Amino acid sequence: MAEISAALVKQLRDMTNAGMMDCKKALQETDGDLDKAVDVLRARGAAKAAKRADREAREGVIGSYIHMGGRVGVMLEVNCETDFVARNEQFQTLVKELGMHIAAMNPLAVRAEDIPADVIARERAVYREKIKADGKPEQLWDRIAEGMLKKFYQESTLLEQSWVREPDRGTVKDVIQSVAAATGENIVVRRFVRYAIGD
Q: Which domains does the chain have, with CATH numbers?
A: 6-51 (1.10.8.10), 56-110+157-196 (3.30.479.20), 116-155 (1.10.286)
Neighbour-count burial of 5, counting CB atoms closer than 10 A to its CB (0-12 exposed, 13-18 middle, 19+ buried) = exposed
Q: In this predicted model, what pLDDT tens digit does every residue of 8-67 receive, in sequence order? A: 888 887 776 677 788 888 888 888 888 888 888 767 765 555 566 566 777 899 999 998
* pTM for this entry: 0.69
d(CA 91, CA 60): 9
| pLDDT for the residue 175 | 92
pLDDT at position 100 is 96
117-133 and 141-156 helices, crossing angle to 10°: 130
